[in-house]
Amino acid sequence: MDGPVSKEPDSAIDAAGLQQILQGRLRRPLQCLHAAECDSTNRECQRLVEQAGGEDGIWVVSADRQRAGRGRRGRSWLSDRPDNIYCSIGLVLELPPETLGLLSLLTGVSLAECLQRHGFRPQLKWPNDLLIAGRKLGGILIENHTLGADRHALTIGFGLNRRLDAEQLRVIEQPATSLQQHGHPPPRHILLQDLLVGLLPELLTFGPRDTDLLLQRFAALDAYRDRQACVVNGEEELHGICRGIDQQGCLQLEVDGRVRRFQAAEISLRPQGRGDDAAA
């Protein structure tokens, strides 16, 4: 994980300083690492968690660039700009399996609320996208290895477009945006610090008792609630109205008066009648 840090004035991330700030807010041991370049921060985190053998530590890995950044369902994530956020968290949590689908929502809500505090107006697209003005701002990738019973080794990765110019946005294969298009983003190290200060304590304390409040928070940010949408599930295309998220984190789609539930791994969600939204 060693390597030269980007020399851009608001890009440098001091892993040791970040670790010191975060550790004071957490009860578990924490290790922060930053690389000039890596394959993917998720892979680095997974390796560290595996080496720890299920210990209750926390690992935070960030990078200036990823050679093989990944999104949901095997898609690539453009990761060659040190102005942006590429970060993963590795940790072990004890949660009932039926609540694991809520972790992506929890992560998205925490990140979006942090951006609101910085003056931006993000929305969430179930299950794992952050949007601004209908265009993709960031994404979340959660990978799980079950250790037994309710114990899970989790890698929670997120990417966030902080600064991309018009030319960089044009080469992305879907409608995308960055914070730069909507205001004045804080320096990268400050933004990453604030995102983690909000997210890490929530991950460590989340449990089934918090589901109702989480769903309320998600609904306040949901870009699709009560909107017409098309859900693509394998070869099947369904048109209906999005009716929010259930207690297991599944999308609820009303089709011909009947509500159908979809898990995150099964579908992609596209707006009906709009061409400016980001694909899942």
Residue 143 CB contacts under 8 Å (≥ 6 apart), including other chains = 42, 46, 154, 155, 157
Helical pair 103-117 and 188-205, crossing angle rounded to 10 deg: 140
Q: How many residues are recorded in the chain?
A: 280
Phi/psi at 93 (5° precision): -125, 150
Retrieve residue 215's tokens: 């769903």
* Helices and strands in the chain: count of H runs, count of E runs: 6, 12
Retrieve residue 228's tokens: 């017409």
Retrieve residue 251's tokens: 């999308």
Residue 280 CB contacts under 8 Å (≥ 6 apart), including other chains = 72, 125, 127, 128, 129, 267, 268, 269, 270
Retrieve residue 4's tokens: 């030269």
Residues with catalytic roles: 72, 136, 270
Q: Is 44 helix (H, G, I), strand (E, B) or coil?
A: helix
Q: Where are the alpha helices (DSSP H) in 124-247?
A: 166-170, 188-205, 211-221
